[in-house]
Amino acid sequence: MMNVFPDAVLVMWMEPLSPRTTRVERRMYLRAGIADDGRDHIVATHRLVHDQDVRICTQVQRSHDAGLDANGRLATVEERGVHFVHEHLRAALAE
């Protein structure tokens, strides 16, 4: 995955290790010339978001383990953007 921001690019890749464990590798590349305090702010913000994502994924895994999810489908409200991209990818691959 790649996230592109005005002052940074975050590249991530995942390696499934087991049904409940995935290793996430991340590399952040910052625009040249960013001041130290700007760099520190960008890194801290991304760390905060990453930590929130880990907590969310942990909770989602608990609901998977408890059998509370509906057939493995995306959350219809929270993941509309993911669904949108998936549908466009499916259409492009079908052509």
Tens digit of pLDDT per residue, the chain (95 long)? 888 888 999 999 989 898 778 888 999 999 999 999 999 999 999 889 888 988 888 887 777 666 665 555 656 566 777 778 888 888 999 98
39 CB-near residues (< 8 Å, 6+ apart): 30
Number of domains in the chain: 1
Two tokens, residue 76:
């219809």
**Residue 55: domain span:** 2-94
Residue 31 CA to chain centroid, in angstroms? 21
Residue with tokens 């409940």: 20
pLDDT of 40: 94
Cα–Cα distance measured from residue 67 to residue 31, given in angstroms and rounded to the nearest whole number: 44
